[in-house]
Amino acid sequence: MRTLGKRRNEKQDEMAGAGEKWRRGVSRLKRRPVWREAGFLANLPPWAGTAGALGFLGATALYGMVLGGYTEAVANALTAEAGFSIKAIQLSGQRETTEFEILEELEIPNGLSLLTFDVAAARERLERNPWVRTVSIQKFYPGTLKVSLSEREPYALWQRGKIVSIIDRDGNVITDEVKERYANLPLVVGHGTQKRAPEILSDLNAVPELRSRVRALVLIAERRWNLVLENNITVRLPEEGVEDALRYLVRLDQQKGLLSRDITAVDLRLKDRIVVKLAKDAKLNRGSVQPNLSVSRKGADT
């Protein structure tokens, strides 16, 4: 037993010596390090360190851009170079607004990216134009911008004192810059007439034979209207039955040439007669209409 135990001890010593001898024979460069990763570090991939360093550098650069106010410029440059620069602008719906005015309000310099273009700010700028009612701006990638306008329609000219403005049907002032091409619009005169213009123009449009001869429409005491014709004859209209009064005036002119006479005013306010005011020192030719002419027509007193 002693011999067997002794042999075993000798064999173990021999094996230990061989192991120690093997360790001494391995290159130090190939030996595994004494330290070992602990916790989550043991599960990180080999490239984690490089990625972390790059992320830190990127975050530092981003912080510098934000702090210096260059974020938008850098983003615009990068996305524009990637193929998202604005290359085409499609406009529609403009009649009174010029293309130059629209492009000026869009504020699109060369090389601007469609991704970074501020649609809300551009819409707000365009809506400041007095002709523009609504604006729709759409982005079509990679590089097309579509702008659709809905404009206010010029309905009449509104005069109060020396100021003349173009108004829409709702009476809203569009602009005080009245160009020659708007001269054919009906002219309404007096405070409050901008809101009541449709009521008289509706009656007047029903009588086109007279409509083309009217130069101005004047609201009197906020109750009724006077028409000023192209030959400076004033037609005093009743408060009610305006269309009937206008049709009768046209028939009388067709039959007797009333509005071609040397007169300054025709009063249609009385229901059973019209009153004609002669021009100064005028003489009535034979067969002309008398100053007071009894007629039978529908109407109402004022």
Average pLDDT over residues 132-137: 94
Average pLDDT over residues 274-299: 58
The residue among 65 and 127 whose pLDDT is bigger is 127
210-267 confidence digits (pLDDT tens): 998 999 999 998 899 999 999 999 999 999 999 999 999 999 999 999 998 889 999 9
40-84 confidence digits (pLDDT tens): 555 656 655 565 555 544 555 444 444 444 445 555 555 555 556
Average pLDDT over residues 26-52: 56
Domains 67-151 and 156-294 share a fold: no
- Using pLDDT thresholds of 50, 70 and 90, give the confidence band for residue 143: confident
Give the predicted TM-score (pTM) of the model: 0.64
The superfamily in CATH containing domain 67-151 is membrane protein fhac (3.10.20.310)
CATH number of 156-294: 3.40.50.11690
Token pair belonging to 141: 């990638």
Q: Indicate the pairing of strand 132-140 with strand 144-151.
A: antiparallel
Phi, psi of 137 (to 5 degrees): -125, 125
Cβ–Cβ contacts within 10 Å for residue 27, how many? 6
92-124 confidence digits (pLDDT tens): 999 999 999 999 999 888 777 788 788 999 999
- For residues 232 and 197, give the distance between their C-alpha atoms in angstroms, rounded to a whole number: 20
Task: Give me the percent of the chain exceeding a pLDDT of 70.
Answer: 65
Residue 269's pLDDT is: 93
Query: Is the confidence at residue 302, as pLDDT, over 90?
Result: no
Query: Is the confidence at residue 37, as pLDDT, over 60?
Result: no
Residue 271's pLDDT is: 83
Residue 155's pLDDT is: 95
Beta-strand (E) ranges in the chain?
88-92, 132-140, 144-151, 156-160, 163-167, 173-175, 187-189, 214-220, 224-229, 234-236, 263-267, 273-278, 292-294
The residue among 45 and 202 whose pLDDT is bigger is 202
Indicate the burial class of 6 (C-beta count within 10 angstroms; 0-12, 13-18, 19 or more). exposed
- Using pLDDT thresholds of 50, 70 and 90, give the confidence band for residue 291: very low
Average pLDDT over residues 176-184: 90
Average pLDDT over residues 155-162: 94
CA-to-CA separations, 237 to 45, 203, 250, 280, in angstroms, rounded: 95, 11, 13, 22
Average pLDDT over residues 170-199: 92
How many CA atoms within 13 Å lie on the side-chain side of 138?
Answer: 8
The residue among 116 and 22 whose pLDDT is bigger is 116
User: Tokens 């365009």 appear where?
Assistant: 126
Domain boundaries, the chain: 67-151, 156-294
Query: Is the confidence at residue 156, as pLDDT, over 80?
Result: yes
Average pLDDT, the chain: 78
Q: Indicate the pairing of strand 224-229 with strand 234-236.
A: antiparallel
